[in-house]
């Protein structure tokens, strides 16, 4: 699978995960989001994407959902931190959808 962004072809896995993490860009995120049936990334989507990327850059691993909810609660408050909220923005959740759009590596055991 591949995505074309600004005339450049970027390789994605069969499941749509970014092959080379250094090729991620906000424009690529928009393309992957459309592949994930999210027509538009709002500011709320970007808050989650950016927090997931920050966590990965600081820790070298993707954040597991329960810990991510705690980070969201600390930064954005209770109403924007539970799994129901995250699923309302990313239909297949943090791990399968938000992390994929954020250009993070596919966690082990995730299809």
Q: Which residues are catalytic?
A: 110
Residue 3 bridge partners (DSSP): 10
Question: Is 17 within 8 Å of 99 (Cβ atoms)?
Answer: no
CA distances from 32 to 41, 57, 60, 103 (A): 10, 20, 22, 9
Question: Is 53 within 8 Å of 103 (Cβ atoms)?
Answer: yes
For the chain, what is the total number of helices (H) and then of strands (E)?
6, 2
Residue 4 bridge partners (DSSP): 9
């Amino acid at each position: 699978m591949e995505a074309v962004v600004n005339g450049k072809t970027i390789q994605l896995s069969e499941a749509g995960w970014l092959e080379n993490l250094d090729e991620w860009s906000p424009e690529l995120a928009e393309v992957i989001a459309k592949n994930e049936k999210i027509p538009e990334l709002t500011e709320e989507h970007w808050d989650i994407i950016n927090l997931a990327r920050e966590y990965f850059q600081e820790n070298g691993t993707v954040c597991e959902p329960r810990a991510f909810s705690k980070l969201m609660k600390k930064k954005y408050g209770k109403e924007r931190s539970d799994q129901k909220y995250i699923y309302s923005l990313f239909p297949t959740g943090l791990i399968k959808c938000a992390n994929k759009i954020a250009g993070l590596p596919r966690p082990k055991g995730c299809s």
